[in-house]
Chain A
Amino acid sequence: MEVLNDFELTDDIIEEMLSLRYDEDVDTTENAEHMENFLRLVARHDMETIELSKKMIIK
């Protein structure tokens, strides 16, 4: 597990997390663009995986 030394899960942060609520008004455009890019790369990665998986012979 990755544990960053300079990060501490303080009570304040936990409280903030617990108080998070779904917000219909949040602008998700930036996230959406990022996700689109991410999924495009994943799709290409998956295609590459399929092609490579045909070549690796297990015995």
Chain B
Amino acid sequence: MYRRYTSFDDMIRDESLKKVKRVIVDNFSYHISRVKSNIFFVEDYIESEWRDIYSIYYSKLNKTISNSTKRIHFISEDIDDIKLISDTNYNGYITIRPIGGKLSLSRVRLRYDCSFYETKAMDVIEQKTVVNFPHISISYDSFPFFRQDGMVTVCAHADIHMLIKTMHKRHKFNHYGITNILKKINNNHGRDIPSEGLSMNDMVKALKERGFNPLITQFKKGKYILQDGEIEIEKYSILDFLDSMIESALPVILAYDGHVIILAGISKIEDKYLFFDDSGAHLSKLDGDGSNFSKLISKSEILEKLSFQQEEAFVLVPTFKSFYFRYKTLLEILITDTKYSRFFQSKKRILLVQSSRVKQHLNYIGIEELNSTLLPNYVWFIEIYKGDKVSVVCLVDASEHQHIETIPFIYSKDENGQKAEIFFRPKIELEIKLLKEVS
């Protein structure tokens, strides 16, 4: 049953959503105003996350609570019939959990574009959301935002859920629902309900058990620092690592101050990151374009925030099974070995890419050198820039042993049958795209 409203306030009043108006307005008004919707359809909706949480805790309460959510659809055209909803006028939806108070926002699946964050160009991890109406299925780009309920799930669960959804939709990993996520988490420090939080280690274990090959890296004051006796050796900035991971289309969980946020996109033109924060605790304290649940934040702002952080920050990123040659080892050789170091002082991009994709991409732009070369499943794809143009591209074997002495460049046989490193100058401008460009 769909109910139609022509104003947001009318909908809030008639649907008895006054209790949640504040949380919607506080956390959400920036985006509500940019969705440019003047029609709202509301329906009762069976949401899998809410059903899971409901069965674990809310069904046991001494009062009656609905096991359905309210789904609010945003429509940009003035239509009076649900059948007139189309690809062009549909702007996405949010769901509201029926528990009142500040914890009521559940899912956010708005259709994002650049105007949504007031940026000229932005790349985000491509994820299709499908919404089914009686007359049409609409598929559009969104992010699987999920908000903690504060009892069964806290931000750690919410971010694990968003990360799993992202890996499922973008990289075809298995999908696990909230019940499954909660089932195997071995929390050693407190009650499960109300949840007293998870340690970073618990989060890593939860992802590892489900095959997401999590990689956890510790940063001190925004830097990767190795301690040799009393000497601190600063290796690279957290921004280099975040750039590399997000441009490889891997969602990144950033943890500091006992809370996690998730990185899902980047605006290279403006040097900004697109973050999602399930409770808004971190994003509300950072300047940027957007709401507390999702903001485009400058890299310098993030670095400054982490620089003043007393505690360490952790970066948790899912990776691929047949990937072994880690970023820190690759960068160490690139920076240290005099044979390569001066080339790599230039502006560069370092991406972890499926080799089949590289091969197809290179063919597409007219480079056929690798067609008959056996490649490992994943390669580090490195672009070196001259000004704004890509000057040199090289491939590094991402399946190599970590104790290797030189960079495991991909080898091919040259015309004399000798091993030759693959460096090549792009014949035309080359930039591999793993993220979806949002316009």
Question: A interface vs B, CB < 8 Å?
Answer: 1-4, 7-9, 13-14, 17-18, 20-22, 26, 28, 31-32, 34-39, 41-42, 44-45, 48-50, 52-59
Contacts and interface: CB of A to CB of B under 8 A. Distances in A.
A36 B333 CA distance: 12
A5 B337 CA distance: 21
A1 B177 CA distance: 37
A8 to B, nearest CB: 8
B392 A18 contact: yes
Contacts of A55: 199
A45 B226 contact: yes
A49 B155 contact: no
B310 to A, nearest CB: 12
Given A18-B425, A49-B218, A56 B240 contact: no
Contacts of A34: 336
Contact of B337 (A31, A42, A49, A57): A31
Interface residues on B, range: 35 or more
A3 B226 contact: no
Contact of A53 (B154, B189, B201, B260): B201
Nearest to A34: B336
A37 B403 CA distance: 11
B366 interface: no
A39 B402 contact: yes
Interface in B321-344: 328-329, 332-333, 336-337, 339, 342-343
A21 B198 CA distance: 49
B396 to A, nearest CB: 13
Interface in B407-439: 409, 411, 418-421, 423-425
A49 B216 contact: yes
Interface stretch (B118-126, B284-292, B383-391): B383-391
A1 B348 contact: yes
Contacts of B405: 28, 31-32, 35
Given A17-B343, A58-B259, 11 more contacts: A1-B348, A2-B237, A22-B419, A35-B404, A41-B226, A49-B216, A49-B218, A53-B204, A58-B199, A59-B195, A59-B197
Nearest to A58: B156
Contact of B420 (A2, A22, A48, A56): A22
Contacts of A7: 342, 345-346
Q: Interface residues of B: mostly helix, strand, loop or mixed?
A: mixed
Nearest to A22: B419
A48 B314 CA distance: 12
B333 A53 contact: no
A48 to B, nearest CB: 7
Given A4-B345, A17-B343, A50-B201, A58 B189 contact: no
Given A14-B425, A41-B227, A56-B258, A31 B336 contact: yes
Given A1-B243, A9-B391, A18-B392, A57 B189 contact: yes
A42 B343 CA distance: 24
A32 B332 CA distance: 12
Contacts of A49: 216-218, 314
Interface in B246-294: 255, 258-260
Nearest to B281: A59
B357 interface: no
A54 B421 CA distance: 42
Contacts of B196: 57, 59
A48 B218 contact: yes
